[in-house]
Amino acid sequence: MQRFVNHLLKLIKRIKPSQTLVIGFLLVILTGTILLSLPFATTSPGKLSLLDSLFTSTSAVCVTGLIVENTGQVFTVFGQIVIITLIQIGGLGFMTMASLFFIMLGKRISLRERLVIQEAYNLDSIHGVVRLVRNAVIITFTTEAVGAVFFAIRMIPKFGLGKGIYHSVFLAISSFCNAGFDALGNYSSLREYVSDPIVNITVMLLITLGGIGFPVFIDFIHKRSFKRMMLHSKLVLIMSGTLFITGAILTAMFEWNNPKTIGELNAPTKIMASCFQSVTLRTAGFETIPQNNLTPAGSLIGIIYMFIGASPASTGGGIKTTTFFIVILSLVSMVRGKQDTNIFRRRISDQIIRKATTILSIALCLVLVDTVVISAVENMTGGNETLGQILFEVVSAFGTVGLSTGITSGLNWISKILIIITMFAGRLGPFTLSMAISGATPKQDTLHYPEERLIIG
């Protein structure tokens, strides 16, 4: 027995930070699956299969928002509380929540735990990670509380004091964590609030604040000047602003006269709905217009935005804004015949460019393979989903967005498993998951072979 324990301890010590992250998320998902499978978690015991419980738990932990059953109608208050707890853990990250309890108990965060936090937030060093965790928790709970107060202005008059506060808190947590879940029970997300400025603006602000990343949030609070901020923060803010503006303009352009989306709304509401669509596409999952009625161009814009996703060290998924920015910037530099990739009088290292290209390549391969396999499976099992709908669903899962054209619940069990894997990969990040599977750690090569030129292009 002692030999077995010693062997187990040795195995645990060999686990890499990226693998710890994967195992931690899997344990949280498994716990959520068990809790959601309990008879009193649903209004009709046995209504939810084990696979659907796993799907819902994964969607909540990975803050995606794709659902197979209506959260407000199928789940009891217990089930809904399990879901919103999983969302909060998934949004902050299980290691952040664990560190919070360690801090509250006065326990010192070990070097190994700091390395896992570093991996979770994709940081360059472990310096200041405990302070980052503390600030992230304070920012999260404070922002969610303020958001809940604004939601209560609309929810309390409609649902009464108790239910109104409950829905406000649920919506605030789900919005800041970019989850897209709601317990309103109408199976139409926030469509009935399409013309409500309080709900729209509050949701958009919470999504944006949760999606820019905690390091940027903290940097902005401390520096309060764009010029003094870190290069990372500048790039995130520039990309977030650019994507928001272009997304709103393109949505309005393609959907303005579409009677099935915003065509029947008045001009101010059309503008607000276009802005909301631009924000929610970046990993949130709430909708004020039906996604299955988008024009082909509007749907394609949605797929591109969902693929890009939020920013690093945030509550969102996707390849991340900085990855997209660096890839585009390096392409521009190469086309212009420049050896270096520069921005704001700073040179982007080749290692960062290589990592960004790797993330983009893995993500594209994952989305492509998933789309092809799911299309084949659904075709063989008599499904009537189009390629566009399946691609939209897969990218939504990878970007941990949660927007859907309505095909989720009708997917074959194989397709659901693939969507579960895609949500998991999107939340952890393709690079982190790849490193965890391979068991490798980034290191400098000690042996360099002679360089050889190849003909490409």
For 22-40, what is the mean pLDDT?
Answer: 91
The residue among 302, 352, 291, 361 whose CA lies nearest residue 322 is: 352
pTM to 2 decimal places: 0.89
Beta bridge partner(s), residue 75: 42
Structure confidence at residue 262 (pLDDT)? 94
d(CA 435, CA 432): 5
Q: What is the mean pLDDT of residues 160-176?
A: 95
Q: Which of helix, strand or coil describes residue 346? A: strand
To the nearest whole percent, how much of the chain has pLDDT over 70?
A: 87
Other beta carbons within 10 Å of 147: 24
Q: pLDDT tens digit string along 309-329? A: 988 878 788 899 989 999 999
Residue with tokens 């309103």: 184
Q: What is the pLDDT of residue 59?
A: 94
Structure tokens at 65: 């928002």
- SS3 (DSSP) at 388: helix
Residue 264: closest CA among 189, 194, 203: 194
Q: Which of 380, 381, 391, 415 is nearest to 51 (CA)?
A: 415
Quote the Cα angle for 174-179-184, to 5°. Answer: 55
- What mean pLDDT is predicted for residues 79-105? 80
Q: How does 309-324 read in b/e, with b if 16+ C-beta sit within 10 Å?
A: bbbbbbbbbbbbbbbb
Kindly tell me if the per-residue pLDDT of 452 is higher than 90: no
Q: Compute and round to an integer the Cα radius of gyration of the chain.
A: 22
- pLDDT reported for residue 360: 92
Look up residue 127 and give its DSSP letter.
T
Most confident stretch, 21-25, 227-231, 236-240, 415-419: 415-419
Judge whether residue 211 has pLDDT over 80.
yes
Tokens of residue 119, six digits: 């991996």
Specify the amino acid at residue 218: I
Question: HSE of 166 in the Cβ direction (CA atoms, 13 Å)?
Answer: 13
Backbone angles phi, psi at 75, to 5 degrees: -95, 140
Give me the pLDDT at residue 270, please.
Answer: 96
Say if CB 27 and CB 44 are below 8 A apart: no
**What backbone torsions phi and psi does residue 67 show, to the nearest 5 degrees?**
-130, 150
Residues 72, 29, 77, CA angle at the centre, nearest 5°?
25
Smallest CA-to-CA distance from 417 within 126, 80, 55, 155 is with 55
- Where is average pLDDT lowest: 176-185, 361-370, 445-454? 445-454
pLDDT at residue 8 is higher than 50? no
Q: Is the pLDDT of residue 14 over 80?
A: no
In whole numbers, what is the pLDDT of the chain averaged over residues?
A: 86
454 band by pLDDT with thresholds 50, 70 and 90: confident
